[in-house]
Structure 1
């Protein structure tokens, strides 16, 4: 219960303190039309190159966007590296973030700044939002317009990080996401992002042999994976590089890897939405796009509260 209260309070602080109407009003898809007209094309090409080099760059960039937005808002504070080690990415809850995701954003930023018209005029926060979209779209997921006009935050501290945990139940998940202004439907749609990528054994090993909602054959497979390799991992669904609705079909069969994913089906209050997405990929795609847009509005900084970082890793 203490963790539930902490998660709710932390999310509510982000929502109330940072989600100002004036900041959200500045967001629009054509924000850079006269500033950096080729922005989306540049980011698309850079993300494509990153994905060709590393198959985990797409899920890593998508996770990075989520981990950024739910802490201080979508201000690329997750990218900041402090010399004293007090920054968000060194919080234990962010240790699952892969270097490939950070490198994807840094590569895209370098590509944007290589255009003289764009140099130092596009925020890392907007590049991160565009890279997340491209990671989804280029993996077979929906294409959608990204609202732009965010400024970068100047602060990143380790202790402020509070994220949903892999053992959260439905009430805990709903409390966290409602603090960000997101509904249960938004939460279930965003969870579908787990159709991409993998999870390390520590995130699900506790369920093996004890959680009766887990398919027995999957449990046996995971037992072998994690007992033989301390650095073992498992894919979150059977098509880890394809953005599709297989994630929800897995949940129907008790093959959700994380407890916080499987609970979406085992709890009858959310099961209907899982069934809907499992049978209708178009509905999932539509709700995912809407949820990503709402998530992208959390914590938006203005020129008065942020900056355009020249290097995503350091405040100016």
Structure 2
């Protein structure tokens, strides 16, 4: 091996070692001694918010996902810039809601343990507690993240509801997530709403000839056309009709019947691994979805985290220190 190749290998090893060390900085109960009340405080704030507005659950879950897929799980989606060029100003993030839940959790914790608990950890805890409040799964959230100082609208390149299976797998793989994580986390569409512009092409002009998407059940497409006219840019549609406020397994039954709302939902039937998972959850008594969802959320929560002395612990989640 030449000296230059040895240098490249050594640098790659150091990068991998650094990434592993960062993720190893996370652990369940990280604040057990420094702020033992933290998780209880977050849970109280979240449960009160969801009781008042159950539809906040889905945006809070999406917020965690959107944060981790851009610059890693560093709370950068929470930051605001005076020039409106932060991540939250990007088109995919304009529909996010619930930032006040993060702010309220942070403020309550700061009164008890100032300068200890990061906003990125609060975001991860909020996502978990919101799912529990909607009768969904619970999982042990690893904490110990620190907050980033950078948020840039130009870096927002999230998986899209228009993506095919190849692109989805590539995007998730780039973040260390596999096909199972893709289909499991897509199951988060069991709660929340979509909007007509995101499905208009599936209903009216899929191939540019005024046709509908052949992967969409024709009866379901007819129902959607009654709700979404071609020029409708505002109407919201339930992603999981009938139980969009409850976290359950019914999403997989819908996708198996070709009634997934988005192209990215339908695309999960185009891969043998994701398709097998869908039909297993849709037809097997004793679903593993809740357990699997927690496992994948923990994996997602490790993406490019800042730990140790990297980043900072923000005093307020919307602005860097």
Q: Provide TM-score, normalisation by structure 2.
A: 0.88
Could you tell me how far apart the structure 2 residues matched to 1:125 and 1:166 are? 25
1:105: which partner in 2? 102
The question of whether the paired residues in 2 share the 8 Å contact of 1:86 and 1:158 is answered with yes
Q: CA deviation at 1:18?
A: 11
2:34: which partner in 1? 35
Among residues 293, 311, 314, which one is paired with 2:316 in the alignment? 311
Give 1:118-157 correspondences, 5 Å limit.
118-157=113-152
Q: CA deviation at 1:270?
A: 2.5
2:57: which partner in 1? 58
Among residues 217, 240, 244, which one is paired with 1:240 in the alignment? 244
Could you tell me how far apart the structure 1 residues matched to 2:40 and 2:274 are? 38
Could you tell me how far apart the structure 2 residues matched to 1:143 and 1:279 are? 23
**What is the CA deviation profile of residues 170-191 of structure 1, one whole-angstrom value per residue up to 9, with x for unaligned ones?**
1111000001111100110010
Could you tell me how far apart the structure 1 residues matched to 2:198 and 2:94 are? 11
Give 1:1-316 correspondences, 5 Å limit.
20-97=19-96, 99=97, 101-115=98-112, 118-209=113-204, 210-227=212-229, 229-238=232-241, 239-280=243-284, 282-316=287-321
The question of whether the paired residues in 1 share the 8 Å contact of 2:121 and 2:144 is answered with yes
150-159 or 269-278: which moved more?
269-278
1:17–1:260 Cα change, 3 Å: farther
**What is the CA deviation profile of residues 231-283 of structure 1, one whole-angstrom value per residue up to 9, with x for unaligned ones?**
10101102111111100000011110011011112544521111112234531
Q: CA deviation at 1:125?
A: 0.3
Q: CA deviation at 1:112?
A: 1.6
281-290 or 52-61: which moved more?
281-290
Q: Give the greater-gyration-radius structure (CA).
A: 2
The question of whether the paired residues in 2 share the 8 Å contact of 1:74 and 1:300 is answered with yes
Could you tell me how far apart the structure 2 residues matched to 1:196 and 1:103 are? 20
Could you tell me how far apart the structure 1 residues matched to 2:17 and 2:235 are? 38
Structure 1: gaps (5+ residues): 1-15
The question of whether the paired residues in 2 share the 8 Å contact of 1:200 and 1:232 is answered with yes
Structure 2: gaps (5+ residues): 1-14, 205-211
1:5: which partner in 2? none
1:23–1:266 Cα change, 3 Å: closer
Q: CA deviation at 1:89?
A: 0.9
Q: Provide TM-score, normalisation by structure 1.
A: 0.89
1:8: which partner in 2? none
3-state SS, counterpart of residue 127 of structure 1: helix
The question of whether the paired residues in 1 share the 8 Å contact of 2:148 and 2:311 is answered with yes
Q: CA deviation at 1:205?
A: 1.4
1:82–1:222 Cα change, 3 Å: same
The question of whether the paired residues in 1 share the 8 Å contact of 2:54 and 2:134 is answered with no
188-197 or 275-284: which moved more?
275-284
Could you tell me how far apart the structure 2 residues matched to 1:250 and 1:104 are? 31
3-state SS, counterpart of residue 150 of structure 2: coil
3-state SS, counterpart of residue 120 of structure 1: coil
Q: CA deviation at 1:222?
A: 1.6
2:11: which partner in 1? none
1:11: which partner in 2? none
1:18–1:178 Cα change, 3 Å: farther
The question of whether the paired residues in 2 share the 8 Å contact of 1:73 and 1:298 is answered with yes
The question of whether the paired residues in 1 share the 8 Å contact of 2:26 and 2:307 is answered with no
